[in-house]
Amino acid sequence: MDTPLQRPLRGLNLKAPEEEVRDFCEREMERAELARSGLEQDTLLAARDLLLKVMDEIREERRS
């Protein structure tokens, strides 16, 4: 079973254009906020931070 931090990354296409990756991450963050049923605020913030970190890593990889 996926943890709340792993589930949002399923389906993320790392080779997609940056705009698609950003849209995907924003949708997942919105969905996580809407699905707060039982999720702690800290978990939502950790998920958001993880998605933002992934976006930054993708940008860096594409620049190289």
**Model confidence pLDDT, tens digit, residues 6-57:** 555 667 777 788 888 888 878 877 777 766 655 566 677 777 888 888 888 8
pLDDT value for 24? 81
pLDDT at 22: 82
What pTM value is reported for the model? 0.45
Q: Which one is predicted more confidently, 59 or 12?
A: 59
User: From CA 26, how far away is CA 46, in angstroms rounded?
Assistant: 14
The pLDDT of residue 9 is: 63
- CA distance linking residue 30 with residue 15, whole number of Å: 22
40-46's contacts with Cβ under 8 Å and 24+ in sequence apart are: 43/4, 43/5, 44/4, 46/5
